[in-house]
Amino acid sequence: MSIYDIQVKNIQGETQALNDYRGKVLLLVNVASKCGLTPQYAELEALYKAEASNGLEILGFPCNQFLGQEPGNEDEIQQFCSLTYDVTFPLFAKLEVNGSGRHPLYQRLIAAQPEAVAGGALKEKLGDKNLLPENDSDIMWNFEKFLIGKDGTVLARFAPDLKVTDAVVADAISAALKS
């Protein structure tokens, strides 16, 4: 099964195939509105505005599995993102990224990239508070990122505390856009 065969629900609740993004570089991010990492929305939006015309799509997937940091419904999420960060990149309906209810999209992403490029001190902080997921391949926290190439290949996975402005992420996105 290709990543393009997977269907998701957009923020309006309509079913959408990822095939709509075939031929583009994708950055998929599990997002949350009440997280210490939420300000990353601003950098994601800036990157989207700068690179969308070059073939980059950023897809935001709200998730409430990390300390209930995305408690709102889809309308509330969309309103928050629009009013607070002027988000124009596509947002989708809430989904689960870990556990028995893990969405097929995240099953595929994690199978393709079971380990994230390490970030800063977030993993240690979560470990100190016993908040790390059970499995090392599970999504660690909100704002973990997956980079998908134009051909649908999962190229990279980045820890939540790596920002799109960090060299390792920015360089990988730039290389994917050039390929």
Q: What digits encode the pLDDT tens for the residues 7-31?
A: 999 999 999 999 999 999 999 999 9
pTM, to two decimals:
0.96
Q: Which residues of the chain have pLDDT under 70?
A: none
Q: Say whether 81 is catalytic.
A: no
- Which residue of the set 27, 35, 91, 105 is catalytic? 35
- Residue 1's pLDDT is 74
Query: What is the DSSP annotation of 42-105?
Result: HHHHHHHHHHGGGTEEEEEEE--TTTT---S-HHHHHHHHHHHH---S-BB-----SSTT--HH
- The residues spanned by each domain of the chain are 3-178
State percent of the chain over pLDDT 90.
Answer: 97
Helix %, strand %, coil % for the chain, to 5?
Answer: 35, 20, 45
Domain 3-178: assigned CATH number: 3.40.30.10
